[in-house]
Amino acid sequence: LSCAYLFHQKRSLAAVKKRFFNKHGGLLLLEEMKSKQGLSFTLFTKAELEEATDNFDERHVLGKGGNGTVYKGTLEDNRSVAIKKCKLISERQEKEFGKEMLILSQINHRNVVKLYGCCLEVEVMPMLVYEFIPNGTLYQLIHARQRQGTRVSFATRLKIAHEAAEAPAYLHSWASPPIIHDDVKPANILIEDNYTVKISDFGASTLAPTDEAQFVTFVQRTYGYLDPEYMQTSKLTGKSGVYSFGVVLLELLTCRKATNLQAIDEEINLSAHSLLAVSEHRLGEILDEQIKGEESIELIEQAAELARRCLEMASERRPSMRERGSRQA
């Protein structure tokens, strides 16, 4: 009797996993995988990822955000990986999740974190498996460096800005439909050796429809980096990412956070405070002390001017994805 019960339980569990797999676009994903040869995309089981993270123990958490929670894991072949439990926000995302992740896995760019595969046999939060980058994030580098005694030169900051712009520019031009990173911020910019940048955390809704230059979506982005135009129209475009990059560039110049609720009213929002300072020729007041006098003020002013252009309220007045990358070269 007990054997029959266990058999029934295993069969029921398998049926549930299959239903979840199909719910998140697993069948569509399998069709795509069959049509493409030489893919290095892996469909992981839930059990594999549970084992890799000690059943998603809190000690393995690398970070939490609006798009999900990321854990460090170790696969059976001893590879260290980052495993993200995603939060989906629309029915369309659920149906096409697997297919979209397959497209993202084919990205091969030195400034983009490699996507190894995914797990779809879960009810609510499909999981993505990325390469693991051990040196932390840009957020940690610029906002925790004072406690660590780390010095980050102006030249290094320009290098980081250039590479942080290169990756989204590549993604926007590489794929059809374009791939739009919907949450560019320092916490999603990983730092390798020699300050090489790796962009991470592509949300589940990053592919624009082929018949639209922009599309309506509900994006779980971070306050302080959100395009004001998107807040009015709910339309996400490549220029939305340009706005976010402008905020990141200001953080690199000032080492101040995008939002600081402990600051006085006029300094809570970094972009508004910095734009006012630039317009009133008070750039020196907001610059990070480390870079004052390190470089020609003209170079710093050029970087601040690029940030100002990226933060234009009207998206058509912002530079393009490619231009913002080339300007930092």
Of 285, 283, 273, whose CA–CA distance to 304 is shortest?
283
Q: Which range, 122-131, 204-213, 316-325, has the best average confidence (pLDDT)?
A: 122-131
Worst-scoring range by mean pLDDT, 40-44, 96-100, 251-255?
A: 96-100
Place of tokens 């059990």: 47
Of 300, 184, 292, whose CA–CA distance to 308 is shortest?
300
- What pLDDT digit, counting tens, does each position of 65-116 carry? 777 889 999 999 999 999 998 776 556 566 666 666 777 777 888 999 998 9
Alpha carbon of residue 151 to chain centroid: 25
Phi, psi dihedral angles at 152 (to 5 degrees): -120, 110
Active site residue 183: yes
Please state the rounded mean pLDDT for residues 182-204. Answer: 84
Q: For the chain, where do the domains classified as CATH 1.10.510.10 start and end?
A: 138-327
Worst-scoring range by mean pLDDT, 5-14, 65-74, 268-277?
A: 5-14
CA 161/CA 155 separation, integer angstroms = 10
Q: How confident is the model at residue 293 (pLDDT cuts 50, 70, 90)?
A: confident
CA 142/CA 252 separation, integer angstroms = 7
Q: Which fold has domain 2-131?
A: Phosphorylase Kinase; domain 1 (3.30.200)
Q: For the chain, where do the domains classified as CATH 3.30.200.20 start and end?
A: 2-131
pLDDT at 7: 34
Worst-scoring range by mean pLDDT, 8-12, 129-133, 171-175, 237-241?
A: 8-12
Of 93, 112, 121, whose CA–CA distance to 26 is shortest?
121
In three-state secondary structure terms, 55 is: coil
The answer to whether 306 and 324 have CB atoms below 8 angstroms apart is: yes
The answer to whether 212 and 236 have CB atoms below 8 angstroms apart is: no
Please state the rounded mean pLDDT for residues 159-166. Answer: 94
CATH 3.40.50.20, applies to 138-327: no
CA angle 33, 39, 42 (to 5 degrees): 75
Number of Cα atoms under 13 Å in the Cβ half of residue 289? 2
The answer to whether 208 and 196 have CB atoms below 8 angstroms apart is: no
Q: How confident is the model at residue 38 (pLDDT cuts 50, 70, 90)?
A: low
Active-site pick, 183, 201, 227, 288: 183
DSSP track, 300-326:
HHHHHHHHHHHT-SSGGGSPPHHHHHH
CA angle 261, 265, 271 (to 5 degrees): 80
99 is in an annotated binding site: no
DSSP secondary structure letter of residue 209:
P
